[in-house]
Amino acid sequence: MNDWLLNVLTSTGVATVLVGVVTYLLQNVLIERMRAAVKSEFDAKLETHKAELAATNAKELEQFKSRLQIQAAQDGVAFSRLHERRITAIERTYRKLHDLHKAVDLYLLEYGLFDDETDKAHATRLSHAYADFNQDLVDLQLFLPRGIVGRLKTIDADLRDITGRFGSAVRTQGNFGSMDEYERQNTRFVTDIHAAINELHEDMRIALGDRVELIRPVLKI
């Protein structure tokens, strides 16, 4: 009886241990399978999300590139129109400056040498040249580079100072008494003004797209 009971208890204990081991192993297997299934589903969703995100980014990038191309084309058209206006502005302004330069040159050369009517004609021509030049500068300065506008205004102010000083000397001292002033103002006209116009001419060439010129051109007015 005791041996039988011992055998039963032993068998029951072994069975219990075996059941516990099997249960533990089954739990581990199930947990690992669940983890693998969850990981597989997560990886699949992650790859799908990555693919969707990449497709969205690619689409947005293409749309952005398209907008940039459209903007570049619009900017190109706008710049082309602006450059055309700038060409016209530079051409007109330089012609008016050329006319003003000639009027000043003739004024310095002949004012006070002949009769009053001739002096009035020179003064009138000079006044008109100043007015035409300044009117064009006001009308066109929006299309001119700031540096060129600054040079034009400086040249205009210097020319007015030269002709003003010379004319005042002739009126107060007479032709022969104003020779010293004529020499001073004519020197300014021939040297300073010519140099300023040469520099202006170079800036205008650059504004028109000529960036190869290395030597400033010689003034031909």
Q: What CATH number corresponds to the domain at position 100? A: 1.20.120
CB atoms within 10 A of CB 30: 10
For tokens 């947990």, name the residue: 31
166 falls within a domain: yes
139 falls within a domain: yes
11 falls within a domain: no
Q: Which amino acid is at 126?
A: L
Cα maximum dimension of the chain: 164
Rounded to two decimals, what is the model's pTM? Answer: 0.60
How many distinct structural domains can be found in the chain?
1
Q: Which amino acid is at 28?
A: N
78-95 pLDDT, tens digit per residue, is: 556 777 888 889 999 999
70 falls within a domain: no
CA distance 48 to 60: 18
- Look at residue 8 in the predicted model and tell me its pLDDT: 45
Range of the domain at 183: 83-207
94-147 pLDDT, tens digit per residue, is: 999 999 999 999 888 877 676 778 878 888 999 999 999 999 999 999 889 999
102 falls within a domain: yes
